[in-house]
Amino acid sequence: MPMPGDRFTAPPAAPSCTYRPAPARGAPPPGPLPAPRRHGELPPTHKVLTILALPGLAISSDDGQLTGRGLEGVYRASRRLLARCRLRIAGREPLPLQSRTVGADTARFTGVLRMAPDTGPDPDLVVERTRHADGTERIALRSAARRPLRLPVEVALGTDLADLAAIAAGSAGPELPATVRAAGLRWSGPAGTASVTADPPPSDVLASAGLLRWDLALPAGGSTTIELRVRADGAAPVRSAGRTPSGPLASAQATGDEPAVAELLRTSIEDLRALLLRDPAHPTDKYPAAGAPWRCGLSPAEALAAARMALPLGTGLAVGTLRALARTQQQDPGPRRGMIPGPRRDAGPHLPPGCTGTEATLLFPALLAEARRWGLPERDLEELLPAARRCLTWLLTTVGEGTYLPDPQPTGPARCDTQAHAHRAAVLGADLLDACDSPGGAELRHLALRMRTAFRDEFWIDDLGGGRPAAARTTDGRLVPHLGAGAAHLLDTGLLGDGTMAPGLLDKVRTEQLARLLTDPALDSGWGLRGLGAKEPGHNPFGHRSGAVRVHETAVAVAGLATAGHEKEAGLLLRGVLSAAGHFGHRLPEMYGGERRTDGAGPLPHPAACRPAATAAAAGVLMLTSLAGIRPDAPAGTVTLRPLRSAPLGEIGLTGLRVAGAPFAVRVSRLGLAMVEEAAEELQLRT
């Protein structure tokens, strides 16, 4: 069930820190409506096959038939253009054999039929349906019969033109009546119009039943194809932001001893591309939607986090995301001036909802600073620096003479992960301002030192097991002791120049203790980190922030542990997520069940998780590139490699990455030795 502001929210609306962005939209069920769902119960996503190239989206069952139940349908901009598309041949539905995604935007369904009763048990007609997220479907019929076949083919169509929010709330209306349009059908309603056209044109069109019919002759061993096109009337064909030659993501590839790494990286990049959206007012700026199907729009914190993890694929995604969010920044005088707006997000059973706007505002300057190290063009840096400076000014003003950053302001608790984000923003922001000859760096460094000193004294809970960081500190000074995956953000300190990492809030001894805690079975499910430890009160293995495995936090832990030198722990978490990815076809959902891993079983899917999700897809990029420990400093013309000497996945090669605007390739041997195989000529290697 979605939590306030964290995921798609059907009515009632989620509370907002500053403003609530328009909710994602989609489609409802057609035809005879299924029994109404209980209030707040979402249609399950774990059993559907989702393809997308936003704003196009198609959701199917395994057999390829669109029945109009649940989420099934073809969507554009979150409106269901087609809810029902059922194929029958000679009055029967094909027997489904296989369904698979050919790419992020394409699915293929294969079935068979036995047409002649005297041919034994073997099927003699193969039916292959190839469905694209742009609303195109090709139905290929291939005969294996020894004699000609006469095939009466019919496709039953219907839609309700419902919005995804209505489907999620269980309030989608009935199917709309159809009218005949040229070689197909058309539907009209208050929400707009949609049509389906067919090639070749059907021999018969029955609007009252929503049927297209053909009478096809197929010679022995012959084949034929029917193509259906779903369109919103008056709209141009879907143009995916991620399918253009000038896309912001490099086509990187992975090879090595572990076959799964190639599939994980390929799928991660495909999913990120499929989730890309254009800023409507500035079409050259592209940013990732949070995830399908619930959040096919801009979620500031998730978009910035995904762009940051995807920096090894180039700085283009960072630029588009930063530009789009800079245009939303609060400009009016007042305590929120400089904030990137964002909705509130559930924080589990022990803390009130947090403000994703706070996280986004802190991520903005950190992403800009690190993008500069990866090779952000100077003109983009100059354009975005004023917005980053406003974020940093907001940070200084909000903390004021205090030590911690409350969330939400002004009376919320000081959360552990928020302090990690704030400290990183201060350190990287100071580095950024100094590099750009802009004032304010000294004040930010002083804030970071103040936070570091106080955090080490006041945010750690000592116990016989070595202690733990508090989840939060309340306004009256009480520490919230519950441990979850959010503590991994303490390891994410950020990249400075010369290949060095920024200092963190923890000292070396407490970093070692956190490494032990993160790989303890109470927190590590074997498939990744639980949002809340299994021994904590309120733990729920399917809770959004109270026990489910969130891939983003696990990837942050893998990268942070690797950077801090805790390679054994980093490898353990990495192998767990990689194993989980195999059970999800290497398309990682944003979260999955936090049940303990057992032999012979896979991770349990979460019925409401977005899949694909931008942070989960980008997490695959971060985890695999962390194996090579790539630390660029493009302004200084250097790149430093700190590979995992333990080589937890054996040999791995990464090609097609981008550093300093040029292709970059690196190989890590089974002995943990890294070698650059391709790089910009001006880059010097540091080890």
Distances (CA, A) of 630 to 196, 308, 676: 49, 14, 10
Instruction: Give CA 162 to chain center in angstroms.
Output: 24
| Cα–Cα distance, 210 to 231 (Å, whole number) | 16
* Residue 686 confidence (pLDDT): 86
Q: What is the per-residue pLDDT for 119?
A: 67
For 683, phi then psi, to 5°, come to -80, 135
Cβ 620 vs Cβ 643: under 8 Å: no
Tell me how far apart the alpha carbons of residues 610 and 594 are, in angstroms, rounded to a whole number.
Answer: 16
pLDDT of residue 41: 67
Report pLDDT for 236: 65
CB 210 within 8 A of CB 180: no
Residue among 384, 257, 385, 371 nearest 316 (CA) = 371
Torsion, Cα 596 597 602 606, to 10 degrees, reads: 30
Name which of 560, 490, 500, 553 is nearest 523 in CA terms: 553
pLDDT score for 32:
40
Please enumerate in sequence order all residues whose Cβ is within 8 A of that of 97, keeping only pairs 6 or more positions apart, or say none. 110, 111, 112
Report the pLDDT value the prediction gives residue 12, as an integer from 0 to 100: 34
The residue ranges of the chain whose pLDDT is under 50 are 1-15, 18-39
| CA distance linking residue 228 with residue 212, whole number of Å | 10
Label residue 18 left, alpha or beta by phi (over 0 means left) and psi (-120 to 50 means alpha).
alpha
Q: Which residues contact 268 (CB under 8 A, 6 or more apart)?
A: 586, 588, 617, 618, 619, 620, 621
Residue 256, sorted as left (phi over 0), alpha (psi -120 to 50) or beta, turns out to be left
Cα–Cα nearest to 9, from 343, 323, 265, 286: 343
| 247-256 tens-digit pLDDT | 899 999 999 9
149-170 burial string, b = 16+ CB within 10 Å, else e? Answer: bebebbbbbbbbbbbbbbbbbb
Long-range pairs for 12-15: beta carbons < 8 A, 24 or more residues apart? 14/343, 14/344, 15/343, 15/344, 15/353
In whole angstroms, how far apart are CA 195 and each of 83, 181, 235, 452, 455?
12, 8, 11, 60, 60
Cα separation, 395 vs 105, in Å, equals 40
The pTM score is 0.92
Report DSSP letters for 564-615, one per residue: TT-HHHHHHHHHHHHHHHHHTTT---SEE--PPP-TT--PPBPTT--SSBHH
122-177 pLDDT per residue, tens: 899 999 999 999 999 999 999 988 899 999 999 999 999 999 989 988 888 899 99
How far is it, in rounded angstroms, from Cα 106 to Cα 551? 24
pLDDT tens-place string over residues 182-239: 899 999 999 899 999 999 999 999 999 999 999 999 999 999 999 999 999 876 666 7
- 8 A C-beta contact, residue 420 and residue 443: no
The H or E element that residue 252 is part of is none
pLDDT digit string, tens, across residues 28-65: 333 343 444 444 567 889 989 999 999 999 999 999 99
- State the pLDDT at residue 16: 54
Give the separation between CA 441 and CA 55, rounded to whole angstroms: 41
Q: Which two tokens stand for residue 334?
A: 């007042």
Non-local (6+) Cβ contacts of 595 within 8 A are: 525, 541, 603, 604
pLDDT value at residue 533: 97
